[in-house]
Structure 1
Amino acid sequence: MRNEDHAREDGPGGRTDEATDTFVTHRNLLFTVAYEMLGSAADAEDVLQEAWLKWVGVDLAAVRERRAYLVRITTRLALTRLRTLARRKESYVGPWLPEPLLTAPDVAEDVELADSVSMAMLLVLETLLPTERAVFVLREVFGLDYDEIAEAVDKTPAAVRQIAHRARAHVAARRPRGTVSPAQTQGALDAFRKAVETGDLQGLFDLIAPDVVLLTDGGGVVRAALEPVVGAEAVVAVLARIAAVATLRPVRINGCPALVVDIGGEPDSVIAIRLDDGLVTGLYAVRNPEKLSRIGEEASLRR
């Protein structure tokens, strides 16, 4: 082995500094791609580990555009895992919700990114077929051209255009109505928190839509409603029980204002909201402890 080759090796498997530097440079982007496709940080991390193992075996001299190549590897691995997750979700106990991520303020400053990783949007993306989801994320969130996406999903550019059109229409019909600014979400959440903490039931009724839906994800590990809780009266009753034993702490989850529910000084759940026409139409409460393991550290999401 030549001395210069030896100098470029770093760690097990002969990983080079150049390969490592490139991967680290794009890691946050790759994590965001995988997370938006999977809705699970744990699975996204597994995908990145697999992507890294593939990347260190690549001849870098033969790679024309490294960012695109890494996105392609990550997308293909995420698609494979997404199909596995679909089978896993079929046996999931109760409603399945995305894994909430504590995010830094800079994520909220990128309005398009914050919207794309919001709990409400991730649930809309769950209704897409795997390839539709990949195409939508790569095109609408990351702005890849159709040729790049075609390589990532093993389709022709013409097919990708059709899939993108279909996915956009599907998402548009299901995403929150109108644009909701971070300030509007924060204002609604502040009022919601105050009403819950003070037991102002009328205040809660004024904030939530008559047909509001509460989804609680306990994963069969902790107690949670196994079916959606529908209607203002039923939802307010649940919130009143929470207020009696918990404190609510404001945070930013997935780029949006949200609440951590603390019981006995420990995080018990995370609550995110969906706003439509100024009213809370959706409440998403994640209680599954496996999905709360990262709630104490900020996740770096990038486009």
Structure 2
Amino acid sequence: MEQIARQFKIERAFTKWEDVVAVTDLVSIAAPTPEHKIICEAALSAGKNVLCEKPLALNARDARAMLGAAEQRKLVHAANFEMRFLPAFQYAKELIDEDYLGEFFRADVTMAMERPWGEHGNWAADDARGGGVLMEVGSHFLDVMRWWFGNARAVLASRRTNFPNVKTRDEQIKGNGKTATTLITADDALWCALQFERGEALLNFVTGARYDPGWTINAYGALGTLVIKSGELLGRRDGDLHLEPLAIPKRLEQNEKPNDPLMWGMVKLFERVAAK
């Protein structure tokens, strides 16, 4: 711990979450999911705003209890959905609110990953600990859909585990012919159809696809189409000849181009919560 703190020039490092809660103004919870509730409630009891990784809890009952504790104390309890703070998503939100799409019909969200899910053998492969494609990846896109088009009114979904036994990442890297595998109990594929307050959406995620095209959002309306493909925003309205990249307003642009755009969005989310 001390070595890591020195390497990244972190002034204070802790080995117990109780110590973090006692001395910080904002508590960011990135612990294993089964521990989220106890840490969250302790932080709220100490009068601290909370930013919590998803899934918030292992079940809806515990998640509602965490929210109730925050509301009772008039504190912030936010989920770590950083996509809302990325320039392409923020500008798309503005365009949708300005009726760029016209009447919204449907959004298609697709993602394919070349490597199988859970190859590291950590909590993400364990359904009992809140792992899986839905919780780890799909939740981000579901949040974006709710942000753009309102709450879901109806849902039809299917989660699958196509590869229950996956060769561990260490064995893949070594390439020594061993057959060590890790058991996958969480979902590694997801299909979900949703009806929102405005329009509908279809999410289709698959891993172990032997092909990695990234992810794409297509939003279709009566007057136009918006597309976000791996972070780039494109659009076409009636009268336009082609689907073309849309210039992001300077006020939304990233001052510094980060190696990981999601990390930039996370920093912006931290700043927003800390300002509360």
Question: Could you state the TM-score of these two structures normalised by the residue count of structure 2?
Answer: 0.28
Whichever structure has more strand as a proportion of its residues is 2
Whichever structure has more helix as a proportion of its residues is 1
